[in-house]
Amino acid sequence: MKRTTRTTRVATLPSLLALAAVLAGCGSTIEGQAVPEGAGAGGASAEFTRLLTECDAVTDEQIAEAVGVEAIERGFFGAICRWDTAGAGATAKVTFNWFETGSLDTERGTAQRLGYAVENTTVEGRRAVLMRPPDDPASCGISAGASTTGIFGWWVQYAPGSAPPDPCAAAVTLARLTLDLSS
Cβ(144)–Cβ(126) below 8 Å: yes
Alpha-carbon 40 to chain mean position: 18
The residues, any chain, with a CB within 8 Å of residue 2's CB and separated by 6 or more, are none
DSSP notation for 124-164: TTEEEEEEE-TT-TTEEEEEEE-SSSSEEEEEEEEPTTS--
pTM exceeding the 0.85 threshold for the entire prediction: no
Q: Where are the domains of the chain?
A: 74-182
Tens digit of pLDDT at every position of the chain (183 positions): 555 545 445 555 555 455 455 455 555 556 655 655 444 444 444 444 555 567 888 999 999 999 999 999 988 777 789 999 998 778 999 999 988 888 999 999 999 999 999 999 999 989 999 999 999 999 999 999 987 778 999 999 999 877 667 899 999 999 999 988 544
Distance CA 129, CA 69 (A): 25
